[in-house]
């Protein structure tokens, strides 16, 4: 089985700026996916779950980094 690209360990090696930028992109994608689902145009329904979990991972890691810094 292939290793996932966006695991928590991969995110921990990135800087806070990179994570914030990725988080912004994911939130925009999540908005677009919600919009597509509401209009009945969403084809890849599994992507909603993947995006939601990546957002949670990044948010958790950013909070960990903030706690370490203080």
Confidence check: pLDDT of 41 > 50: yes
52 confidence band (pLDDT: 50, 70, 90):
very high
Structure confidence by residue, pLDDT tens digits, 3-35: 566 788 899 999 999 999 999 999 999 999 999
Residue whose pair of structure tokens reads 């939130």 in the numeric block: 27
- What is the pLDDT, as a whole number, of residue 3? 55
Q: At 19, which helix (H) or strand (E)?
A: helix 16-38
- What is the pLDDT, as a whole number, of residue 1? 46
19 contacts: CB under 8 Å, gap ≥ 6: 11, 58, 61, 62
Residues 50 and 26: their CA atoms lie apart, in Å, by: 10
What domains are defined for the chain?
8-69 (1.10.287)
Task: Indicate the pTM of the whole model.
Answer: 0.87
């Amino acid at each position: 089985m292939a290793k996932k690209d966006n695991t928590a360990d991969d995110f921990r090696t990135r800087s806070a700026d990179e994570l914030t930028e990725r988080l912004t992109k994911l939130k925009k994608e999540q908005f677009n996916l919600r919009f597509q689902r509401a209009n009945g145009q969403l084809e890849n329904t599994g992507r909603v779950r993947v995006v939601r979990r990546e957002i949670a991972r990044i948010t958790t890691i950013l909070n960990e980094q903030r706690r370490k810094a203080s």
